[in-house]
Amino acid sequence: MPDGLKELNKQIQDIPALLGIKKIPWLIAGPCSAETEEQVMATAVGLAKCPNVKVFRAGIWKPRTRPNCFEGVGEEGLKWLRKVKEQTGLLTATEVANPKHVELCLENKIDILWVGARTTVSPFIVQEIADSLRGVDIPVLVKNPVNTDIGLWIGAFERLYQSGVKKLGAIHRGFSSFEETEYRNKPHWEIPIELKRLMPNIPIICDPSHIGGDRKFIEPISQMALDLGINGLMIETHIEPAKALSDSKQQITPKELIELLGILKVRDTVPTDVLLKAQITRLRTSISRIDSRIIQDIADRMKFVEEIGQLKQKNKIPVLQMDRWESLLKDHIEKGLDKGLDKEFTKALFELIHTQAVKKQF
C-alpha cells in the first residue's frame, strides 16, 4: 500500500461504530428523490419499522443524465428530512454536488453527506466540496465514479481527508458502459475489492438499486455483496415505487425491504469451528499451489513467445496473425466451456495473455 494511503487508512474513523450500528448489513434506505412531504414521511415511517435501517436517504438535488426531467425539489426537501429525524429517530443522508448544497445541508442538520457518482469523476468539484467541509465533522460517503477508474475514487477520499474529513465510507453503485448489459451499471466487483485491499478501514456499502436498475436484481446483488464481505447496503425505497418521479423501476416499498432482509443471508466472517478452519486451510493450500503453477506456466509461455518473436523478426513475419489468434481464442473458449468455464471469463483471460504476448514481441 502506498505510504499516503496507509496513513489515511489509519486515521479513518469507523462510521458504523460511531453511529452505534452493530448489525451487518447496516442499511441506508429511502427514496431516490424526496418528492413531497407526505411521500418522504410515509416512506420514513415504514422504514423505521425495520431494525437494520439506521439511515434515511433521499435525493434533494438530482443529477439527471438528460435535461427536462425531475431534478429534485431542492432546499425545501431538507425540512422534510429534518422532520424525518425528529419523528422517527432515523439519521438522514443526502447527495451534495457543490459547496452551496453542503452549506444548506449543514444548516438543516443533515447527518451524513454523499458525493454522487457523477461528481466523483470531477476532481475540481470534489475539491470544492472538500474545501467547503474544512473544519466540519460529518460523515461523508463517496460513490464510485461512473467510469472504472479506481484512482478517481481514491483521489476523492484523499481530497476529503486532506480537508480534515475522517469519517469516510464508500458506496459501490456500479459502472456505466457503452455495451448493452443486463444491469444498469456493471458491478465490476474487482474494483470495490481492490479498494478494500488498499483501504481496509473504509466501510463499503453496496447500492444494488443503481447497479441493477430493476427491483428484481436487488436481492441477488445484495446477496453477492454480503458474500463478498461488504459492510452495508443502500437500497432505494419508496412508499409507492410505481409513482416515483425518478428511478421508479429500481425502488421497493418499505414492506418489501423488510421481507428482503428476511431472505438475505449474512455469513460469519471469521470461522470459529476448528474442523471448518482446517478444511479451509487445506483448500487454500491447494489453491495457492495451483496459482504458483499458473504463474510458472505463464512465465514459460512468455519465454516461447519471445523466441517466436525473434524468429518472426528475423524472417520478416508480422507479429500479429489475426487468423491464428482467432482460431486459438475459439479453441480455448470451447475447451473452457467443456470444463465448465464461463465463455466471457476464458475470453478475457486469453485476451489479457495475448496482449502481453504481442507486446513481448516488439
Q: Does 51 bind ligand PEP (CB under 6 A)?
A: no
Look-up: residue for cell 412531504?
37
Among 54, 173, 184, 215, which residue interacts with ligand PEP (rule: CB under 6 A)? Answer: 173
Question: What does the block give as the cell for 349?
Answer: 483471460
- Asked whether position 117 contacts ligand PEP by CB under 6 A, the answer is yes
116: contact with ligand PEP by CB under 6 A: yes
74 is an interface residue for ligand PEP by CB under 6 A: no
> Given the complex with ligand PEP, which of 114 and 350 has the nearer CB atom?
114
Of the candidates 67, 69, 157, the one whose C-alpha atom is nearest the C-alpha of residue 114 is: 157
Do residues 43 and 54 touch, judged by C-beta distance below 8 A? no
Q: Which does 105 bind (CB under 5 to 8 A by kind): ligand PEP, Mn ion, none?
A: none
CA distance 103 to 75: 11
How would DSSP label each residue in 86-108?
HHH--EEEEE--SHHHHHHHHHT
- Residue 28 engages Mn ion in binding (rule: CB under 5 A): no
Q: Does 221 bind ligand PEP (CB under 6 A)?
A: no
Shortest spacing between CB 210 and Mn ion, in angstroms: 6
Q: Are 309 and 321 in contact (CB under 8 A)?
A: no
Q: Which is nearer to Mn ion, 96 or 357 (CB)?
A: 96
Does 213 help bind ligand PEP (rule: CB under 6 A)?
no
- 190-249 positions binding Mn ion, by CB under 5 A: 247
SS (H, E, C) 263-294: HCCCCCCCCCCHHHHHHHHHHHHHHHHHHHHH
126 binds Mn ion (CB under 5 A): no
Binding of ligand PEP by 59 (CB under 6 A): yes
CA distance 14 to 202: 7
Position 276, amino acid: L
Taking CB under 6 A as the rule, does residue 32 contact ligand PEP?
yes
232 binds ligand PEP (CB under 6 A): no
Select from ligand PEP, Mn ion, none the partner in contact with residue 172, using the beta carbon and a kind-dependent cut-off of 5 to 8 Å.
none
Phi, psi of 56 (to 5 degrees): -100, 125
3-state helix, strand, coil in the chain (%, to 5): 55, 10, 35
To ligand PEP, the closest distance from the beta carbon of 175 in angstroms equals 10
Residue closest to ligand PEP (Cβ): 116
Considering only the stretches 14-22, 38-46, 114-122, 284-292, report the one whose residues sit in contact with ligand PEP under the rule CB under 6 A. Answer: 114-122
Distance of alpha carbon 75 from alpha carbon 302, whole angstroms: 60
DSSP one-letter code for 315: T
Which residues on adjacent β-strands are paired with residue 92? 56
Total residue count of the chain as it appears in this document: 362
Please give the C-alpha separations between residue 12 and each of 26, 53, 92, 130, 155, in angstroms, as whole numbers.
Answer: 18, 23, 21, 16, 15
Task: Establish if 184 lies at the interface with ligand PEP (CB under 6 A).
Answer: no
What character string, x for contact with ligand PEP (CB under 6 A) and - otherwise, covers 129-158? --------------x---------------
Q: How far is the CB of 192 from Mn ion (least distance, A)?
A: 19
User: Which partner from the list Mn ion, ligand PEP, none does 173 bind, CB cut-off 5 to 8 Å by kind?
Assistant: ligand PEP
Contacts to Mn ion by CB under 5 A: 32, 247
Contacts to ligand PEP by CB under 6 A: 32, 59, 63, 116-118, 143, 173, 210
